[in-house]
Amino acid sequence: MSIENLEQIAQAMVAPGKGIIAVDESASTIKKRIEAVGLENNEENRRAYREMLLTAPGLGEYISGAILFDETIRQKTADGRTMVQAMEQAGIIPGIKVDKGTHPLAGFPGEVVTEGLDGLRERLQEYAKLGAKFAKWRAVIKITDDTPTSAAVEANTHALARYAALCQEAGLVPMVEPEILMDDKENTQDLDTSFAVHKEVLQSLFAQLELNNVELKALILKVSMVIPGKYAPKEDQVDAEDIAEATVNVFQYAVPAAVAGIVFLSGGQEDQQATENLNEINKLGPHPWPISFSYGRALVSAALENWAKDQKGNLASAQKIVVERAKENSQAAKGIWKKG
């Protein structure tokens, strides 16, 4: 695929009022989520749950794309279509998580590096054949009194850039995700610390992307908001306006205008908080990039809870819930959401 085609896909992913749904929970994460609502974590339940979300009537009006896990891209809907076909019919661009998760970074206790570069070229080629148009890689940065170290920042941003270059070679849009954690009990950062770490990580990331010849116009940045840690002291918590201002400010310092779009992960924010913060960010626009959402939990949690109570009987109501969450975040992506 030509780079111009990749640019068009990247632009479609962040078309006005559209965002991305993340249903790419790894095997261990989906186990936790499914069991937390009282269901058995088996392949059929995981398949049916993700089919419920991806085939929700009207979802494509607000959702441009979905990130799948390896298992899901190989599965079929109950009526025999591949998941990719069902998504395409719904106007949802298929994406795939391609990293192999975080592992301890040798020599740096408590810090992690994302693995998965070995054999990635071949895996990307297979995913492209299966119908994926974009791919995601998540790096995790932890803020404590002593971290992140520059070694952890550099190891992670270097891997992100290597992965992004391989994606563009394989004809996939890279969705490059550095997540600075906000929901870990150890990460009690205040807003200024979150700002400083986001700035360092993003500047390192774009230096690595440049070094590795990655085309920014065919790339989506997926990132956390500049936000105090969930477990930070009460006096360090701030309102949505402050989060919005700090987040936009850090992008101005660290994200080149050529980047096709920026989307957020929800990262453990409450549903309404994730929507309100995105709305405030877009109220500060226009920005050099479309700024939208690529939420997992903040889009799907309420629907999962409802569906788990009665998978057949609640199918329609659970689907309505996810579409409603998508609609609210679509409004926030335009800065026109009103608190209900």
Residues found near ligand 13P in the complex (CB under 6 A): 22, 24, 138, 177, 265-267, 295-298
CB 65 to ligand 13P: min, Å? 12
Three-state SS at 124: helix
CB 235 to ligand 13P: min, Å? 25
| Cα distance between residue 294 and residue 15, in whole Å | 13
Q: Return the closest-CA partner of residue 64 out of 22, 95, 18.
A: 18
CB nearer ligand 13P, residue 169 or residue 271: 271
| Cα distance between residue 73 and residue 96, in whole Å | 8
CB 22 to ligand 13P: min, Å? 3
Q: Is 309 a catalytic residue?
A: no
User: Contacts for 305-313 with beta carbons within 8 Å, 24 or more apart?
Assistant: 305/37, 307/49, 307/52, 308/37, 308/38, 308/39, 311/48, 311/52
CB nearer ligand 13P, residue 123 or residue 222: 222
| Cα distance between residue 337 and residue 283, in whole Å | 10
Catalytic residue among 25, 51, 177, 200: 177
Report yes or no: 305 and 37 within 8 Å, Cβ to Cβ: yes
CB 187 to ligand 13P: min, Å? 14
| Cα distance between residue 96 and residue 23, in whole Å | 9
Catalytic residue among 222, 230, 276, 328: 222
Report yes or no: 46 and 34 within 8 Å, Cβ to Cβ: yes
CB nearer ligand 13P, residue 9 or residue 68: 68
CB nearer ligand 13P, residue 24 or residue 111: 24
Using a 10 angstrom Cβ sphere, with 0-12 exposed, 13-18 middle and 19 or more buried, the burial of residue 35 is exposed
CB nearer ligand 13P, residue 21 or residue 214: 21
Q: Is 4 a catalytic residue?
A: no
Taking CB atoms, the residue at the shortest distance from ligand 13P is: 296
Cβ neighbours for 170, distance < 8 A, ≥ 6 positions apart: 121, 124, 125, 127, 128
CB 308 to ligand 13P: min, Å? 17
CB 99 to ligand 13P: min, Å? 9
CB 78 to ligand 13P: min, Å? 25
Which ranges of the chain would DSSP assign to H, the alpha helix?
3-13, 27-36, 43-54, 70-73, 83-89, 120-130, 150-170, 191-211, 240-254, 271-283, 297-309, 315-334
Task: Please list the helix, strand and coil fractions of the chain in percent, rounded to the nearest 5, in that order.
Answer: 50, 15, 35
Residues acting as catalytic residues? 177, 222
